Amino acid sequence: MRGFRNINHYSYTFSFLLVFVMLILVCPAYSINANILSSTESLTVSNNRTIVSPGGLFELGFFKPGTSSRWYLGIWYKKTPEETFVWVANRDRPLPNAMGTLKLSDTNLVLLDHSNTLVWSTNLTRGDRRSSVVAELLANGNLVLRYSSNSNPSGFLWQSFHFPTDTLLPQMKLGWDRKTGRNIFLRSWRSSDDPSTGKFSYRLETRSFPEFFIWQTDVPMYRSGPWDGVRFSGMVEMRDLDYMVYNFTDNQEEVVYTFLMTNHDIYSRLTMSPSGSLQQITWKDEDRILSWLSPTDPCDACIKGFEPKIQEAWAVNDGTSGCVRKTRLSCTSGDGFFKLKNTKLPDTTWTIVDKSIDVEECKKRCLSNCNCTAYANTDIRNGGSGCVIWTGVLKDIRNYPATGQELYVKLARADLEDGNRKGKVIGLIVGITFCFWRRKQKQARAIPAPFAYEERNQDLLNNWMVISSRSHFSRENRTDELELPLMEIEAIIIATNNFSHSNKIGEGGFGVVYKGNLLDGQEIAVKRLSKTSIQGTNEFMNEVRLIARLQHIDLVRLLGCCIDTDEKILIYEYLENLSLDSYLFDKTRSYMLNWQMRFDITNGIARGLLYLHQDSRFRIIHRDLKASNVLLDKYITPKISDFGMARIFGRDETEANTRKVVGTYGYMSPEYAMDGIFSMKSDVFSFGVLLLEIISGRRNKGFYNSHRDLNLLGCVWRHWEEGKGLEIVDPIIIDSSSSTFQPQEILRCIQIGLLCVQEGAEDRPMMSEVVLMFGSETTTVPQPKPPGYCVGRSLVNIDSSSSNQGDDESWSVNQITLSVLDAR
């Protein structure tokens, strides 16, 4: 009996070993070395095997991005909460189906399709075939090809870090290898679902003083400024972080940029989005953080003592010709220098660089060189060192509140003395006119995107020096408090044809808006407050002070104001397409807004709100965001308007309480409408309502249907719960153009809208999170909770003098509707 048991025991043991050996024979692709692919192994789409880096941060394998049906070989973060791809091998030659093989062939790593046709290869010349080759995924995400007996980085036969797609990882170099002539640069994906080569690239130019450029095909869209020893002078958004170190190397062997992580529990990557923006994205404790976004400031300017080289070109927003001197230099005694502080250095394409001399010697060389335009340090550390001299036109200059560096501009004595007579006007920007990407948009007549932010360089007083010098603005009336020009009432009367009814373009609770034409042909929008308006001097001054300090592409631009006897008037840029509601809720106009246009408008509004909440000089709560307070320019770029009811928050302030509830019913959050509590999350709620209105083409206010939904929010929530989200979409979106109709994208936006209108303010996302969700389909969108319903119905419009009482959705420029909720 004991022998029988021993026989069974040995039989079981033999069977187990046999099964184990058979598994190895049948499935040879599964290797003990999880991060190495040997010559006897392969990866296929069907066996679903991956290679994982030491430490488990990165993974190599096959994937399908988003809704795509095509397969790619790539590397992604394994530990981040959402799919984040950092490298793609066959980005322009995808596998058409789930059949593909990655293996080693001689000394190359090759990717074959279902017919064994070569799709991608490391493309090396034949090496030493006597030594075996392995492919290894390193801990830093670098896929390398090496001889099995050599793990020295200098001995790598090939590495993915030399052939990036849209991502720069820590320890990876971006720039030029001067020994091999290799240029390592980023190129965007075509879209979030398509990793093929996109339109935008991020490259280092090294002709004189190295700096990075963002290119759209062959057109420069943005310039980083040169490395100043700490950061690139034009990228003020590069934040000093205790867990990240920036490094720029310029020597005989290489000129490259890289960054390192000092805390290995924090992950980060620099990536170029399909729309051309550069983002430093970081993960900490599985939370995603947008470290910085670039560019934030894409406008060019002329500085003191200079003027546009081709005035006619600058008049139509084409400043590519640059700026030239007003007064010719004497090239003898008398010439001097005007110091610009906190400056992004001009375009360094044509400069003279000498890193061996100090700033005083640099000054002497510039004075002795008749062609010298300006000079600066090459390195700002330790008081400054090195010398860079400009000998041509000065292009693409910026001024920042704190960062940047000093630039010394050479001026003739006459210009220096003229500057002294005019006081301590820094004389930086005499007109914000040229923008690289604006020029491209103007050529394409397309809706502007690609950059998330546009913050002007100066206060409006400096920005509008040119306008202030015109006869219809009074220099004497300009005040430091208002920080923008005061216009004389006579000039406004002439511009509006004495406030002619034929010039009226809008009317709201606080007065009438007129279109006007200044004597030089400039079109303006004139908001004339009613003499009986509830908006008194305090509200008027509040709006002036706020908007005069706010400059962003997605905020309406205030040009000036007028206070004369009992007249209170605001002068704005004229926007040809008036307000969003005039299209969205108009049956004859709504067909003009296809899905792509609505998506871009939504993105613009989100970026504008993010600027108000986080990136402006003040934290501002708008409190009256709605469709009629979003204006559209000729490119259909959205502009948030109406800051009369806005409130400034301190940086450490999260919410406030008021007894005077202002805003518009249907857009107010429950906690604000019922308890007077408002915060950034109140604006998020209003944004969510507006987003769902844009998708559905229906108002939240005055909503009725056969299901007796309380409002649009209830209707959308019911359809979302039933899995019928697309049924609430405006039929015009579906019918207008099949090429722009993106069902998954629309459903994602509905989900974001519902997140924004959740009842609890603490459940709603911040606008920074909303912008990220819009900008990346790989960002996880949480499941929403039920929306908040504002059930109070007793609303009284305070201003009963308006001719369009109860209709706050008329065309308007910076129109304000003030309502009070009787919260019982």
In the block, which residue shows the tokens 């992580």? 261
CB 695 within 8 A of CB 756: no
Within 13 Å of residue 311, how many CA atoms lie on the same side as its CB? 5
Comparing C-alpha atoms, which of 415, 425, 423 is closest to residue 459?
425
Dihedral over Cα of 380, 383, 389, 395: its sign: positive
Question: Is 179 assigned to a binding site?
Answer: no
**CA atoms of 806 and 684, how far apart (whole Å):** 24
Packing angle between helix 712-721 and helix 743-756, nearest 10 degrees? Answer: 120
**CA atoms of 763 and 755, how far apart (whole Å):** 8
Name the DSSP letter for residue 806.
T
Ordered strands of the 133-137 beta sheet: 36-37, 133-137, 143-147, 158-159
**CA atoms of 108 and 134, how far apart (whole Å):** 9
Comparing C-alpha atoms, which of 537, 545, 489, 534 is closest to residue 510?
534
Name the DSSP letter for residue 613.
I
**9 Cβ neighbours under 8 A, 6+ residues apart:** none
Name the burial class of residue 123, with classes exposed (0-12), middle (13-18) and buried (19+) by CB atoms within 10 angstroms of its CB: exposed
Strand ranges for 275-384 from DSSP E: 278-284, 287-294, 299-300, 306-308, 323-325, 336-344, 351-354, 374-376
User: What does the CA dihedral 558, 562, 567, 569 come to, rounded to 10 degrees?
Assistant: -10
Q: Is the peptide bond before 295 cis (omega within 30 degrees of 0)?
A: yes
**CA atoms of 199 and 449, how far apart (whole Å):** 13
**CA atoms of 46 and 69, how far apart (whole Å):** 15
Residues in the chain, overall count: 824
Print the SS3 string covering 42-89: EEECCCCCCEECCCCCEEEEEECCCCCCCEEEEEEECCCCCCCEEEEC
Q: Which residues are catalytic?
A: 624
CB 73 within 8 A of CB 120: yes
Q: What are 42's strand-pairing partners?
A: 103
**CA atoms of 197 and 178, how far apart (whole Å):** 25
**CA atoms of 558 and 540, how far apart (whole Å):** 13
In the block, which residue shows the tokens 């006081």? 423
Burial readout 577-608 (b: 16 or more C-beta within 10 A, e: otherwise): bbbbbbbbbeeeebeebbbbbbbbbbbbbbbb
Tally helices (H) and strands (E) across the chain.
Answer: 17, 49
Measured CA angle at 210 (ends 186, 408), to 5 deg: 135
Strand, helix or coil at 548?
helix
598 token code pair: 């609505």
Comparing C-alpha atoms, which of 221, 84, 237 is closest to residue 166?
84
Comparing C-alpha atoms, which of 480, 652, 486 is closest to residue 570?
486
Annotated binding residues, written as ranges, equal 527
Annotated binding residues for ATP, written as ranges, equal 527
